[in-house]
């Protein structure tokens, strides 16, 4: 009898140990704070819940950085981490927060748009929990997130997602995908409250341009492009042609399908006066037939399997031994965003947006992405937030 109790107790202890051993890294990941250093251009820091009360006190609430220029002008919203497994948008947004100085107009930057997805993981796919970007002062650590919000913050999933307000049927998982829940609603599921908050910000603050920054597989046809609905096509086309001619990289324009609902590039334009744009740059790391998902591969984008697929013409972008580095991806996003501002401003002098201090493609290729992140331990008091 006594022996049986001892066996049971040791089995229970072993099980508890296993749960702790497996769960602690995930707990630490969820609670890890990425330092965000506010640059000289930041004039206010808001929460998205100020535009969507239902987010207050939840893990889906997120920070909005405001960079207001001295002169009035146009207004733009830049979003990163709509899909937190495509962190290039967040890395680009942080460069804007640290370096942009707005001379005319106002910039709103949401680096961790799906804050819950940024605290979710993809360990089943062999993804790392974190990635470190090398800088001159050491390396800056970021959480590697998932495409969808954490089930800890929104659960259970429906059998089928019914898009609001069109009633279009979407996959069950899209209920946690903030690029399927636009335009959202105030009392909806948490992810609908996130997109509703951004819609309200866009409407109340009279935002002219909304730029949602993503990344996609090299084997996915919608990659290396600017997705734009009809109302944004002129500005997107001019931006694409200009970056190609002046900076030597490709980013073609893809039309936003009018009947595919829930996406930022569709709903923002249909439910506000803003012109939406969704930017994609290729992330080889996201492709399926690759070697191990290491941090090094995420940073340099080099993979022998993709290289052989490229020779068989199976990829939608040119791909060679040089891979597709983080520098190229973030550099493209910085330049394309700045070019969209410039092209819009040329046509709308009274709503011009003039942003200085943000590096462009060639500078980022030359200096590296980490060069643009300041050491948070040396930053002035009160300028560092953890997200």
Residues forming contacts to Zn ion in the complex (CB under 5 A) are 83, 86, 214
Which residue, 86 or 267, is less far from Zn ion as judged by CB? 86
For residue 250, count other CB atoms closer than 10 A to its CB.
12
- ∠ CA(223), CA(224), CA(228), 5° rounding? 80
Minimal distance, residue 170 CB to Zn ion, in Å: 15
Which residue, 264 or 343, is less far from Zn ion as judged by CB? 264
H or E element: which one contains 90?
A: helix 88-99
Would you state the structure tokens that stand for residue 249, as one six-digit string? 């990289």
Which residue, 216 or 235, is less far from Zn ion as judged by CB? 216
Minimal distance, residue 293 CB to Zn ion, in Å: 17
Q: Do 216 and 282 touch, CB atoms closer than 8 A?
A: yes
Minimal distance, residue 51 CB to Zn ion, in Å: 22
CA distances (Å), 1 to each of 9, 13, 229, in order?
A: 12, 19, 73
Query: 145: closest CA among 125, 124, 126, 122?
Result: 122
- ∠ CA(271), CA(41), CA(139), 5° rounding? 100
Which residue, 83 or 333, is less far from Zn ion as judged by CB? 83
Minimal distance, residue 212 CB to Zn ion, in Å: 8
Would you state the structure tokens that stand for residue 346, as one six-digit string? 């040329």
Q: Do 345 and 103 touch, CB atoms closer than 8 A?
A: no
Minimal distance, residue 279 CB to Zn ion, in Å: 10
Query: Which residues, at least 6 apart from 222, have a Cβ–Cβ distance to it below 8 Å?
Result: 216, 254, 280
Query: Which residues, at least 6 apart from 200, have a Cβ–Cβ distance to it below 8 Å?
Result: 51, 52
Minimal distance, residue 143 CB to Zn ion, in Å: 17
Which residue, 198 or 365, is less far from Zn ion as judged by CB? 198
H or E element: which one contains 212?
A: strand 209-213
Q: Do 199 and 210 touch, CB atoms closer than 8 A?
A: no
Minimal distance, residue 217 CB to Zn ion, in Å: 10
Which residue, 83 or 143, is less far from Zn ion as judged by CB? 83
Which residue, 83 or 265, is less far from Zn ion as judged by CB? 83
């Amino acid at each position: 009898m006594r022996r049986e109790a001892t066996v049971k107790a040791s089995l229970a202890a072993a099980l508890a140990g296993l749960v702790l051993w497996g769960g602690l890294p995930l707990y630490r990941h969820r609670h890890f704070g990425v330092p965000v250093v506010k640059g000289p251009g930041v004039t206010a820091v808001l929460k998205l819940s100020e535009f969507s009360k239902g987010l207050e006190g939840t893990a889906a609430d997120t920070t909005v950085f405001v960079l207001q220029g001295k002169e009035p002008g146009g207004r733009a919203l830049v979003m990163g981490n709509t899909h937190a497994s495509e962190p290039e948008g967040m890395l680009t947004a942080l460069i804007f927060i640290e370096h942009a100085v707005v001379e005319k107009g106002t910039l709103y930057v949401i680096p961790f748009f799906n804050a819950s997805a940024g605290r979710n993981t993809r360990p089943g796919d062999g993804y790392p929990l974190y990635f470190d970007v090398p800088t001159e002062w050491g390396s800056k650590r970021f959480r590697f997130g998932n495409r969808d919000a954490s089930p800890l913050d929104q659960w259970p999933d429906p059998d089928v997602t019914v898009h609001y307000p069109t009633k279009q049927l979407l996959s069950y998982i899209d209920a946690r995908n903030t690029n399927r829940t636009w335009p959202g609603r105030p009392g909806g599921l948490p992810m609908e409250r996130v997109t509703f908050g951004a819609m309200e910000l866009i409407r109340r603050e009279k935002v002219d341009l909304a730029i949602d920054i993503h990344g996609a597989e090299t084997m996915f046809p919608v990659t290396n492009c600017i997705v734009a609905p009809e109302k944004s096509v002129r500005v997107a086309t001019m931006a694409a042609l200009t970056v190609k001619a002046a900076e030597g990289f490709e980013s073609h324009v893809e039309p936003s399908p009018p009947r595919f609902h829930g996406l930022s590039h569709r709903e923002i334009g249909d439910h506000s006066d803003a012109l939406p744009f969704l930017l994609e740059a290729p992330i080889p790391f996201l492709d399926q037939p690759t070697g191990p998902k290491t941090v090094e591969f995420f940073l340099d984008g080099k993979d022998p399997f993709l290289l052989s697929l490229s020779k068989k013409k199976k990829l939608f972008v040119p791909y060679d031994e040089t891979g597709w580095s983080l520098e190229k991806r973030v550099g493209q996003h910085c330049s394309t965003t700045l070019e969209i501002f410039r092209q819009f401003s040329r046509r709308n002098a009274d709503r011009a947006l003039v942003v200085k201090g943000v590096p462009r493609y060639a500078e980022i290729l030359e200096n590296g992405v980490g060069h643009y992140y300041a050491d948070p331990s040396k930053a002035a008091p009160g300028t560092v937030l953890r997200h």
